[in-house]
């Protein structure tokens, strides 16, 4: 099968649009009233029975709507190409890896200036803030949907450890900040059986993995803003049981130079996570064909250095963002699909 033929296996992502206030929009670009949110999501987010893995992708700063869909489709296409061409590299996916994607689009465009950066930073917060933004409803609906309607995929071996479909979150830049805020605010709080982290058996499921490329957030964000993502004595029902994996590259000017000016310190996408309420581990982005051992990714927070690959090529000195968006690569898909494998 040719690479082009394999790409046709990726269904068109379902698109969820939010406006500047974080409200859902209909395909006709009409705001969805809060009392109709559940009905709207029920129509839009019907997970097909054939899917083994559900990916929620949220784009970052200065990303046009069409580019958001194209990026998610390409990344998942690369993942399917890897598992199809080299199945022996992913033995945990022997029964199949059939992704279904939801792309959440939000207005992230601004001028490439300090003011523009701060505008989008604050808007990412608004998407979930104070009960007005609908982003937590999107995440909560998917979690609730899986709780009520998870099915055994067509190949039972895929889900050797439990029945159900796996939920993975993938974000880029401010999209990672968006996701962390939304998940933290979502009412549902589930577990996983395959990661070593303890879980509450009274909860039916969890977010199985979260992967954020070049996160635009302060290095201490998980202490200051997102400590509620992780289980603790005071928060045993936290929503994230699988690992939170974050890439970083010193060639990322958006989370280096711009983030330093806007927030007084480099961002996670440039320098990795700093202080955190849970243990963390640091490793390196690996080439395709080189497996990630389970113990490398089985940590609450995993910092992945991508200095050797996310370099922006010759555009580093010309682009205000540097290598900030240089992550749509087979090596990124390799990391993403490995997380899906290890969650089983």
Task: Give the pLDDT confidence of 249-306 residue by residue, as tens digits.
Answer: 999 988 888 888 888 889 999 999 999 999 899 999 999 999 999 999 999 999 999 9
* Residue whose structure tokens are 């993975």: 168
DSSP state of 88: G
What pLDDT is attached to residue 1?
A: 35
**Confidence band of 194 (pLDDT split at 50, 70, 90):** very low
Compare 45 and 282 and report the one with higher pLDDT: 282
Cβ burial of 15 (10 Å; 0-12, 13-18, 19+) is middle
Compare 7 and 310 and report the one with higher pLDDT: 310
| Closest to 272 in 3D by CA, of 316, 208, 212 | 212
* Residue-range definition of the domain harbouring residue 199: 3-342
How many domains does the chain contain in total? 1
Most confident of 23-37, 51-65, 222-236: 51-65
Side by side, the strands of the sheet bearing 166-172 are: 24-25, 14-18, 99-105, 53-58, 166-172, 209-213, 244-248, 301-305, 280-284
Length of the chain: 344
What pLDDT is attached to residue 153?
A: 40
Compare 246 and 161 and report the one with higher pLDDT: 246
| Closest to 75 in 3D by CA, of 344, 343, 342, 340 | 340
Burial profile 76-110: b = 16 or more Cβ within 10 angstroms, e = fewer: bbbbbbbbeeeeebbebbbbebbbbbbbbbbbbeb
Q: In this structure, are strands 53-58 and 99-105 parallel, antiparallel, or unpaired?
A: parallel
In this predicted structure, which of 101-110, 112-121, 126-135, 171-180 has the lowest mean pLDDT?
Answer: 126-135
What pLDDT is attached to residue 201?
A: 41
**Confidence band of 155 (pLDDT split at 50, 70, 90):** very low
Distance CA(300)–CA(250), nearest Å, equals 23
Task: Dump pLDDT digits (tens) for 215-232.
Answer: 999 999 999 988 888 877
Q: Helix (H, G, I), strand (E, B), or coil: what is residue 103? A: strand
Contact (Cβ atoms closer than 8 angstroms) between residue 97 and residue 340: yes
Query: Is a pLDDT exceeding 80 seen at residue 119?
Result: yes
Please report which helix (H) or strand (E) contains residue 247, including its range: strand 244-248
CATH number at residue 331: 3.40.50
Compare 3 and 158 and report the one with higher pLDDT: 3
Query: Is a pLDDT exceeding 80 seen at residue 203?
Result: no
**Confidence band of 130 (pLDDT split at 50, 70, 90):** low
Q: How far apart are the first and last CA of the chain?
A: 27
Percent of the chain's residues with pLDDT above 70: 80
| Closest to 246 in 3D by CA, of 310, 311, 313, 321 | 310
Q: How far is CA 183 from the centre of its chain?
A: 11
| Ordered DSSP codes for 259-306 | HHHHHSS-BHHHH---S-SS-EEEEEPPPTTSPPPHHHH-SSEEEEE-
Query: Is a pLDDT exceeding 80 seen at residue 325?
Result: yes
Describe the chain by its helix, strand, coil percentages, rounded to 5: 40, 15, 45
The CA-based dihedral angle spanning residues 318, 322, 327, 328, taken in that order and rounded to the nearest 10 degrees: -20
Most confident of 30-39, 77-86, 226-235, 307-316: 77-86
Query: Is a pLDDT exceeding 60 seen at residue 171?
Result: yes
Q: Give the relative orientation of helices 174-185 and 114-126 as an angle to the nearest 10 degrees.
A: 20
Contact (Cβ atoms closer than 8 angstroms) between residue 68 and residue 315: no
Contact (Cβ atoms closer than 8 angstroms) between residue 263 and residue 122: no
Distance CA(16)–CA(85), nearest Å, equals 31
Which whole number is the average pLDDT over 70-94? 94
Which whole number is the average pLDDT over 184-191? 50
Which whole number is the average pLDDT over 166-177? 91
Q: Helix (H, G, I), strand (E, B), or coil: what is residue 187? A: coil
Q: What average pLDDT does the chain have?
A: 81
Please report which helix (H) or strand (E) contains residue 166, including its range: strand 166-172
What pLDDT is attached to residue 166?
A: 84
Compare 265 and 197 and report the one with higher pLDDT: 265
Query: Is a pLDDT exceeding 50 seen at residue 238?
Result: yes
**Cβ atoms within 10 Å of 248's Cβ, excluding its own:** 29
Token pair of 215 as six digits: 């996160």
CA triple 202-203-204, angle to 5 deg: 115
């Amino acid at each position: 099968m040719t690479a082009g033929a394999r790409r046709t296996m990726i269904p068109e992502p379902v698109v969820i649009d939010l406006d500047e206030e974080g409200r859902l929009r209909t395909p006709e670009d009409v705001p969805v009233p809060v009392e109709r949110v559940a009905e709207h999501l029920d129509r839009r987010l019907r997970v097909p029975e054939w899917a083994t893995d559900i990916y929620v992708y949220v784009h970052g700063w200065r990303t046009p709507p069409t580019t958001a869909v194209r990026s998610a489709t390409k990344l998942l296409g690369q993942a399917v190409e890897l598992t199809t061409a080299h199945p022996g590299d992913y033995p945990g996916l022997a029964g199949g890896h059939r992704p279904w994607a939801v792309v959440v689009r939000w207005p992230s465009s601004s001028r490439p200036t300090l003011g523009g950066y701060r505008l989008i930073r604050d808007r990412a917060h608004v998407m979930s803030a104070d009960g007005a933004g609908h982003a937590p409803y999107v995440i909560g609906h998917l979690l609730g949907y899986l709780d009520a309607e998870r099915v055994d995929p067509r190949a039972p071996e895929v889900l050797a450890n439990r029945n159900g479909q796996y939920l993975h979150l993938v974000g880029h830049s401010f999209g990672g900040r968006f996701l962390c805020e939304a998940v933290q605010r979502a009412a549902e709080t589930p577990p996983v059986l395959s990661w070593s982290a303890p879980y509450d058996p009274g909860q039916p499921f969890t977010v199985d993995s979260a992967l954020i490329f070049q996160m635009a957030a302060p290095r201490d964000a998980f202490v200051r803003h997102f400590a509620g993502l992780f289980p603790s004595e005071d928060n045993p029902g936290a929503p994230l049981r699988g690992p939170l994996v974050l890439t970083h590259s010193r060639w990322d000017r958006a989370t280096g130079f711009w983030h330093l000016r806007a927030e007084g310190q480099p961002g996670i996408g440039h320098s990795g996570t700093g202080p955190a309420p849970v243990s963390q581990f640091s490793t390196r982005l690996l080439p395709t064909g080189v497996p990630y051992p389970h113990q490398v990714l089985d940590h609450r927070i995993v910092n992945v250095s991508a200095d050797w690959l996310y370099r922006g090529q010759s555009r580093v000195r010309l682009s205000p963002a540097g290598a900030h968006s240089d992550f749509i690569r087979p090596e990124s898909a390799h990391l993403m699909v490995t997380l899906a494998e290890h969650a089983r």
